[in-house]
């Protein structure tokens, strides 16, 4: 089913403000809405970024700055970020903005700043349908115990804890971890383990529908291609990996479970042809998003906004 397209036939911010509730309600049902403002914004990156900065306010909400990042991002303008740095030759599989947080964003704006030479299409998947596609025993398991994100921060390996927590002060890290509902444990060598427990299924705050909302497959080590995965496992074991997800009881996600979760998105997955001047409004709970591999330099701007209490 094609996504709804809203023809923005006036000044963008005022037009959105007049229809904010209607647009958000539509995104809750369909997963996303395309705001077609090509007449106003096509080919004008500065105007696009300016509009993106102000759109959360037009929706009656506020920007939710990315936090606890798993990859570096560039701030393209105040309150507007690039997508996470992710190798162009790898698909960025279905995931949610900030689903590892205790208070993830409710919505996400996406807009094309520079197209790739080839590939790089955005795709969406319906998380209500994904939940129904899962085997019942898997669904019940994660409904009861949730999931864990486990990170081991070591020098010169992956994103550092100072970047994730935004400070070089270990005392401040512990303060923030307490606020963010993250358990932290320091080792004698200065390395840090951080573990977050989150629900795997979230009730949509608008529709009441149960949604499969997590990063279980996306951030699991089984998503890393061989032979890189084998090298990491040989060096650290599952418990020492820089980043992975676990079942709520602390045991590893099996290959069968990982495959079932990955497959669950496919029946509802649809590609979005995002054009210059269009803005994609994504309901971050109702829809997971991803992108196909690409070549060249691709720049997509993102603005997460609003919050959902998932814990």
Q: pLDDT digit string (tens) for 19-37?
A: 999 999 999 999 999 999 9
pLDDT top residue among 5 and 159? 5
| pLDDT for res 311 | 46
Measure the N-to-C terminal CA separation of the chain; round to a whole number of Å. Answer: 32
Please check the confidence at residue 43 and state whether its pLDDT lies above 90. yes
**Positive/negative CA dihedral, 95, 75, 170, 178:** negative
Specify the residue for token string 């486990």: 150
As given in the structure block, the two tokens for residue 90 are: 């790898």
Share of the chain above pLDDT 70, in %: 99
Is the confidence at residue 1, as pLDDT, over 50? yes
Residue 92, strand partner residues: 291
How far is Cα of residue 247 from the mean position of the Cα atoms in its chain?
19
- Cα 290 to Cα 90, 91, 92, 121: the distances in Å are 11, 8, 5, 8
Backbone angles phi, psi at 288, to 5 degrees: -90, 155
* Average pLDDT score over the chain: 96
Whether 225 has a pLDDT exceeding 50, the answer reads yes
Residue-range domain boundaries for the chain: 5-128+269-305, 133-264
Name the burial class of residue 179, with classes exposed (0-12), middle (13-18) and buried (19+) by CB atoms within 10 angstroms of its CB. Answer: exposed
Q: Find the helix packing angle between 255-264 and 136-145, rounded to 10°.
A: 100
Q: Do domains 5-128+269-305 and 133-264 have the same CATH topology?
A: yes
Q: Assign 187 a pLDDT band (cuts: 50, 70, 90).
A: very high
Q: What integer pLDDT is reported at residue 49 of this predicted model?
A: 99
How confident is the model over 257-286, as a mean pLDDT? 97
Q: What confidence tier does 155 reach under pLDDT thresholds 50, 70, 90?
A: confident
Fold of 133-264: Double-stranded beta-helix (3.60.130)
List the beta bridge partners of residue 151. Answer: 194, 243
Percentage of the residues of the chain whose pLDDT score is greater than 90: 95
Q: Check pLDDT > 90 for residue 88.
A: yes
Average pLDDT over residues 256-278: 97
Residue whose pair of structure tokens reads 């820089």 in the numeric block: 242
Is pLDDT of 82 > 60? yes
Domain 5-128+269-305, architecture per CATH: 4-Layer Sandwich (3.60)
Please tell me the pTM assigned to this model. 0.96
- The confidence score (pLDDT) of residue 85 equals 93
Pairing label, strands 107-114, 92-95:
unpaired
């Amino acid at each position: 089913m094609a996504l709804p397209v809203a023809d923005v036939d006036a000044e963008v911010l005022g037009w959105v403000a007049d229809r904010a509730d209607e647009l958000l309600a539509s995104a809750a049902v369909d997963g996303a809405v395309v705001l077609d403002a090509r007449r106003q914004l096509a080919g004008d990156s500065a105007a696009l970024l300016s509009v993106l900065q102000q759109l959360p306010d037009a929706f009656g909400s506020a920007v939710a700055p990315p936090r606890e990042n798993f990859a570096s991002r560039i701030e393209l303008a105040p309150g507007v970020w690039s997508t996470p740095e992710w190798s162009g030759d790898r698909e960025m599989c279905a995931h949610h903005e900030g689903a590892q947080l205790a208070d993830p964003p409710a919505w996400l704006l996406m807009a094309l700043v520079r197209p790739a030479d080839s590939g790089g299409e955005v795709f969406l998947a319906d998380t209500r349908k994904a939940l129904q596609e899962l085997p019942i025993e898997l669904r019940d398991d994660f409904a009861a115990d949730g999931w864990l994100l486990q990170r081991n921060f070591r020098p010169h390996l992956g994103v550092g804890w100072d970047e994730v927590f935004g400070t070089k002060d270990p005392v401040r890290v512990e303060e923030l971890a307490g606020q963010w509902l993250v358990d932290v444990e320091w080792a004698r060598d200065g390395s840090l383990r951080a573990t977050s427990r989150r629900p795997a299924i979230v009730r949509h705050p608008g529709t009441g529908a149960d949604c499969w909302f997590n990063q279980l497959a996306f951030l699991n080590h089984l998503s890393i291609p061989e032979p890189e995965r084998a090298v990491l496992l040989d060096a650290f074991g599952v418990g020492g990996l820089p980043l992975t997800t676990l079942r709520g009881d602390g045991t590893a996600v099996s290959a069968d479970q990982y495959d079932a979760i990955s497959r669950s998105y496919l029946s509802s997955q649809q590609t979005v042809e995002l054009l210059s001047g269009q803005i994609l409004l994504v309901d971050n709970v109702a829809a997971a998003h991803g992108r196909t591999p690409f070549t060249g330099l691709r720049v997509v701007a993102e603005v997460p906004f609003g919050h959902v209490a998932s814990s």
